[in-house]
Chains A and B, each alone.
Chain A
């Protein structure tokens, strides 16, 4: 669907180098990377909003490299919403219709449908200044989809929102993606977001793509130290959810919240797992016996790999704790972590 070949961009203080990217039709693709990696610039290049130095961009079979943005059928949603402040919600949403030939009945139907899915009907005549962040972002998404683009670009659409709104907009994006034939490309630096929404992803760093592929592969098999460090969460497991319990193989892991879906992922940061030799009483609701399989010296701390039944955990421990606890390979230990340390998505 979107093919980018050998793309170079030169801005005054920033460069994108040799970007090659392939996004399939109707895919939900995620671009990740630290601030300043060039994610937004790449999105704007796809939309034709940033001049490029070298390379080609295709949508399907069509070379769109030289096309102006208004001829590309690509909509964009920004983190700061970019709503037109002088237009009401409904005028914002229908803005693109001035430039597209769509018959009125069809347009009205699409409008009603979008306002339903995004829960905007009661806000129609308000001005953007009187909307909450979540409402603004939903308007911005509706406006982008109203023209039925081939591709929807989302530039960190959730990161400016409060957690409650974030969940809500995330759910809406997921539903919209499932019910349309539109290819979504989203920039984010939140792994939970990426995992819950996307199929494939690319990690960018310093104007280049570090790794691209299935999102799970990126998390489980980072191909560079940068990606490994960037991904951070080493304990990532496929899980089935039963109420507030996550089933990973046959380990029952307690969660603090009830996930919406029946299955998904859980992730635990290695520094959140406490290693001890004996069971001790604490408020931590998860506690499993495990066997140490490997100990890796990381300088200031040690990375301890353990196995509990079929599940491999990674945790961090200081050198003094390692010595005090007499932890060595094949030692029997107890792993403990709080229910709140388990991220589910």
Chain B
């Protein structure tokens, strides 16, 4: 059968895009020698920054999960005036340039703002602290969790919950026995996307907290001070460790699904 020209155009575009994504990554991963990789993972600054990245991104995902789940459910189940507006606000962090996010958060948390003063009185510091990093990462990551969890809840027929209620289950039991078991996979995907987004954040973090250094900031610093060659090994470690973590989560969850 003779293929339409459109078929060949699609194939060509596809190959270009695949190469565009994969080529730089392969180049990055294969550039540093084993020697350099070993040396950089022995570097305590590197280990500390990668650990800080993972741990702050994880915390951001946890906060998004705890605060975001009820809102995601509300948005999936109820129609109210202003719902579109709320959904638009949720997507805002995706659209705002990253340094602007950092600046915006600092301007609220600074000494000149009543909220910043209140935080200061409570002993909470945003500028240059782990708290500040987690705040920023939550800001950029939470839309991804909310949207994934909302889609998960929307996919469950409200009638399942209604039947559950009519059979004697309270709202809470219904969530625990029906909604959660059917939505947890979407929620988990939301958590993975949220932490993936958080772990890759640079622009907003660098404004709020240059120190303590998360991995992307450390990579940037090495690049500025010593050049491309010295930033590559750290980058390779960050990419590999995050990939392994995400893969592990995916495998674990797929495994559980098959058991079911």
Chain A residues numbered 39-90 whose CB sits less than 8 Å from any CB in chain B: 44, 47-49, 68-70, 72, 74-76, 78, 80, 82, 84-86
Q: Known A82-B159, A86-B260, A98-B173; judge A47-B166 contact (CB<8 A).
A: yes
Complex CA distance for A12 and B164, rounded to whole angstroms: 25
Q: Does A104 contact B (CB under 8 A)?
A: no
A69 touches B157 (CB 8 A): no
Complex CA distance for A96 and B177, rounded to whole angstroms: 11
Q: Does A143 contact B (CB under 8 A)?
A: yes
B173 touches A99 (CB 8 A): yes
Return chain B residues, CB-CB under 8 Å to A12: 79
A49 touches B182 (CB 8 A): no
Return chain A residues, CB-CB under 8 Å to B254: none
Q: Bin chain B's interface residue count.
A: 10 to 19
B173 touches A44 (CB 8 A): no
Q: Does B131 contact A (CB under 8 A)?
A: no
Chain A contributes a number of interface residues (CB within 8 A of B) equal to 26
Q: Which residue from A70, A84, A147 sits with its C-beta under 8 Å from B165?
A: A70
Chain B residues numbered 57-101 whose CB sits less than 8 Å from any CB in chain A: 79
B166 touches A49 (CB 8 A): yes
Return chain B residues, CB-CB under 8 Å to A98: 168-169, 173, 177
Return chain A residues, CB-CB under 8 Å to B160: 82, 84
Return chain A residues, CB-CB under 8 Å to B163: 76, 78, 82, 84, 143
Chain B residues numbered 151-199 whose CB sits less than 8 Å from any CB in chain A: 157, 159-160, 162-170, 173, 177-178, 181-182
- Shortest Cβ distance from residue B109 to the other chain A in the assembled complex, whole angstroms: 41
Residues of A within 8 A of B (CB): 12, 44, 47-49, 68-70, 72, 74-76, 78, 80, 82, 84-86, 95-96, 98-100, 143-144, 147
16 pairs, CB–CB < 8 Å, chain A vs chain B: A48-B165, A48-B166, A68-B165, A68-B170, A69-B166, A70-B165, A82-B159, A86-B182, A95-B169, A98-B168, A98-B173, A99-B168, A99-B169, A143-B163, A144-B166, A147-B167
Given pairs A78-B163, A80-B157, A84-B160, 5 additional interface contacts (CB within 8 A) = A70-B169, A86-B182, A96-B167, A99-B168, A147-B167
